[in-house]
Amino acid sequence: MQKLIECVPNFSEGRDPQIIRQITDAIASADGVSLLDVDPGETTNRTVVTFVGTPKATVEAAFRGIKKAAELIDMRKHKGAHPRMGATDVCPFIPIGDADWDEAIACAKELGKRVGEELKIPVYLYEKAAKDAFRANLAVIREGEYEAFFDKIKKAEWHPDFGPNEFNAKAGATAIGAREFLIAYNVNLNTKSVRRANSVAFDVREQGRVKTLDGTPAGNPMVDEKGDPIRVPGMLKHVKAIGWYVEEYGIAQVSMNLTNIKETPLHAAFDACHESATKRGLRVTGSEIVGMMPKKCLVDAGRHFLQKQNWSEGAAEEELIDIAIRTMGLSELKPFNPKEKIIELKVEAANRKKLLVKMDLRRFCNETLSDSPAPGGGSVAALIGALGVSLGGMVANLSAGKRGWEEKLHYFSDWAVKAQGLKDEMLSLVDEDTVAFNKVMAAFGLPKGTAKEKSARSAAIEAANKLAAEVPLRVMQTAAKAYDLLAEMAARGNPASISDVGVGLLAVRACIEGAGMNVRINVKNLKDEKSKTSLSNKVHVFVEESEARFKEISKLVEKKLKG
């Protein structure tokens, strides 16, 4: 998985398409980001923009968008239905894929500092990036809106985190933060009754329902000593829900906002609605995602549904996503296209990279056999390693599904899941090795007419050669993890598949030795003796350890082959 940060700035302009386009063009001009969605609202006079990229690229793109919005939007003239306090009203960062909260918070702080210092716009950090707990809530920061900030900002407790203690009349103020990913998720019911859909919604949402004296929805509400209604909590934390009727489809839905998908994932919301509906004599017929989601949501859902089937969870990501789509009926109302709805897949499609791992076997072999030096030995070594891991994972899946071995299901399923992760790491390195080699070629192609150009070229060649040595070293390191998998499958796996363990073992050993050759050939070109020695020593250690593990597991394979 990639380290991606999603950014969802809200700009206080939803009516002038030329202004909106100039802002989004500024965002898209930053290298390394993909613009995913632009959603203008005329009544709110507000546009929500969604884009993703690496942490560094996302900060740069957000800054360009905020700068352009400050140039084009005059808050002194702004009117709209949505609460607002600035030309860029709010700009949250959300970690996706392998990115974590520390990186998202760092993005918010870096952007806030730049906006405050370079654009002279007051910036308030909110949610997980907030410096002060009482200012973490966006609604609290925005209270009084644009008009109140002229006086509000003068109070000591409302001095901004970045930027001047004086309100910017034209651009207003901006809230920048890091928040959880929010998913809008609707579950379809076989009824047209809003009341019945609301009953399910009240069962599942965190807020639950008001407790009544006679226990019926229409009864008199029970109150506490303060006079506040007493509530019966719902089944799920971090879920807001309501029932409504969708005339377009002729059905009632439970419409939910999942505000913390780590604690309450998508599949938990689906299962809860299914449980509640069934108790009420209703049936869940399908569901729909509004907007986009991280890949992990459907991968985790696929694993969850396989677990409920008492089946191995060690399926490929593509299969897990398909299982989730089918189980939750995400295509019931309209076709669900993963490449349009899953953030990482949309980014991949937008970048249109010529990925080796996306080629079929024949094209990959043809590309390798051509007169181009890449892909070469490093990429092929990584692919061989991925195949070795895949064979080990296959044995784990076969063992998990073996009749009479039901008590061992979870043990082998866990190993199959680990194999899928290792396989994906190895496949990503297939392309990384070719990218690293191409950087070496690009460095040699740099100009060398002047002393300055020669110096820059020499530094670029050194950096590229170091990277070209480090990537195959990572191939060795990753492939070495497969020995534990193969050892377990040789010792405890389905004995009918022992030859597959043996072939996997040979492939992993070949991968490590082949990748080691690629480290050594690139190390030769390094001028930094310290890096040279360090990398060479690591190769030596990996090869020695690999040979020892290979011999150890081979003995077990040979013993079982002989019967």
Instruction: Assign 81 to helix, strand or coil.
Output: coil
> What pLDDT is stored for residue 291 in this prediction?
77
Which residues does 348 contact at the CB level (< 8 Å), separation at least 6? 355
Q: What is the pLDDT of residue 344?
A: 85
Which residue shows structure tokens 């001028």?
A: 527
Q: What percent of the chain has pLDDT over 90?
A: 79
In whole angstroms, give the CA distance from residue 120 to residue 177.
18
**pLDDT band per the 50, 70, 90 thresholds, residue 347:** confident
| 238 among known catalytic residues | no
pLDDT of residue 353: 58
- 3-class secondary-structure state, position 345: helix
List of residues 6+ apart from 325 with CB closer than 8 A = 298, 331, 336, 338
Per-residue pLDDT, 132:
87
- Please check the confidence at residue 217 and state whether its pLDDT lies above 80: no
The pTM (predicted TM-score) of the whole model is: 0.78
Range in 100-109, 332-341, 391-400 with the lowest mean pLDDT: 332-341
> What is the set of domains in the chain, with CATH numbers?
3-178 (3.30.990.10), 183-296+311-347 (3.30.70.670), 359-562 (1.20.120.680)
* Residue range 157-212, pLDDT digits in tens: 999 999 999 999 999 999 999 998 889 899 999 999 999 999 999 999 999 988 87
Residue for token digits 């094209």?
363
Cα–Cα distances (Å) from 418 to 197, 316, 491, in that order, read 40, 11, 17
Q: How confident is the model at residue 218 (pLDDT cuts 50, 70, 90)?
A: low
pLDDT at 152 over 80: yes
Q: Quick one: pLDDT at residue 184?
A: 85
CA distances from 286 to 212, 271, 432, 442 (A): 32, 11, 40, 51
Annotated active-site residue in 161, 271, 300, 433: 433
- Span 84-100, average pLDDT: 92
Mean pLDDT of 79-86: 90
Active-site entry in 82, 238, 322, 484: 82
Of the pLDDT bands very low, low, confident and very high (cuts 50, 70, 90), residue 351 is low
The answer to whether 13 and 73 have CB atoms below 8 angstroms apart is yes
Rounded distance between C-alpha atoms, residue 218 and residue 215, angstroms: 9
* pLDDT for residue 2: 66
Residue 269 has pLDDT above 90, yes or no: yes
pLDDT reading at 354 higher than 70: no
* pLDDT at position 496: 95
How far CA 55 is from CA of 5, 6, 89, 549, in Å, comes to: 6, 9, 21, 39
Q: pLDDT averaged over the chain?
A: 93
Please report the pLDDT score of residue 223 as a whole number. Answer: 74
The pLDDT score that the predictor gives to residue 350 is: 66
Q: Does 214 score more than 90 pLDDT?
A: no
Q: Which amino acid type is present at position 225?
A: E
Q: Which helix (H) or strand (E) holds 127?
A: strand 123-127
Reply yes or no on whether 161 is catalytic: no
Stated length of the chain: 563
Distance of CA 347 to the CA centre of its chain: 11
How large is the average pLDDT for residues 295-317? 96
Q: 292 with 346: CB under 8 angstroms?
A: yes
In the predicted model, is pLDDT for residue 225 greater than 60? Answer: yes
Q: What average pLDDT does range 286-314 have in this prediction?
A: 93
Q: What is the pLDDT of residues 397-455, one digit of tens each?
A: 999 999 999 999 999 999 999 999 999 999 999 999 999 999 999 999 999 999 999 99
